[in-house]
């Protein structure tokens, strides 16, 4: 692992400040992929329950489908995200940023379809519509800053913005303006619906 004191935060697409857990659910990006989008999601398994290892188990194809009635409704699902931020700010990484994680599904944004091809997916432990914790914003801000130093990120969006009508996360509980100011970015990076008036 790279030494954080050297400033080398990345090794083969893996972030040195994340706990690494290699998901089998990934594939190669297209050769022409231009990684310029970060997609934010929210997840909790079962919905509204925090602190367990079910999300990690889902991304590793190890979730016990019989452990909760809700799990039976998603049985067989094979998904992944590049990153997962717990309520306490703990950070996990499941797929190298050099590879294509399976987080977006059918999607389109900034005139391009198939957002998995050229985006980085970040899951926040949470429930659609509910607020997120300060520790999560802190970790998310540091992570996104590191990603923007590594890739030509020009767009930040939620799953709800790249798959409208199909997905609604992270939802109104996520404070986009706070996130924007935290990163010191122009409002142009955000979805139009999330920009402050006058920007």
Positions annotated as catalytic residues are 123
Q: What is the number of other CB atoms lying within 10 angstroms of the CB of residue 97?
A: 21
Token duo for residue 95: 């797929």
């Amino acid at each position: 692992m790279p030494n954080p004191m050297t400033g080398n935060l990345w090794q083969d697409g893996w972030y040195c400040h994340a706990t690494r857990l290699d998901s089998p659910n990934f594939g190669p990006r297209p050769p022409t992929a231009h990684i310029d989008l970060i997609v934010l999601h929210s997840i909790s398994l079962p919905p509204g329950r925090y602190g367990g290892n079910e999300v990690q188990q889902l991304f590793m194809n190890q979730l016990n489908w019989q452990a909760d009635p809700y799990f039976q409704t998603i049985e067989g699902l094979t998904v992944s995200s590049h990153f997962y931020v717990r309520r306490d700010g703990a950070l996990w990484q499941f797929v190298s940023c050099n590879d294509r994680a399976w987080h977006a599904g059918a999607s389109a944004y900034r005139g391009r379809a198939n957002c998995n091809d050229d985006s980085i997916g970040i899951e926040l432990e949470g429930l659609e519509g509910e607020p997120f914790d300060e520790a999560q914003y802190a970790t998310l801000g540091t992570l996104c800053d590191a990603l923007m130093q590594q890739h030509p990120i020009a767009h930040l969006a939620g799953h709800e913005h790249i798959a409208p009508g199909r997905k609604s996360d992270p939802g109104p509980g996520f404070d986009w303006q706070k996130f924007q100011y935290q990163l010191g970015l122009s409002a142009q990076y955000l979805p139009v619906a999330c920009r402050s008036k006058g920007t």
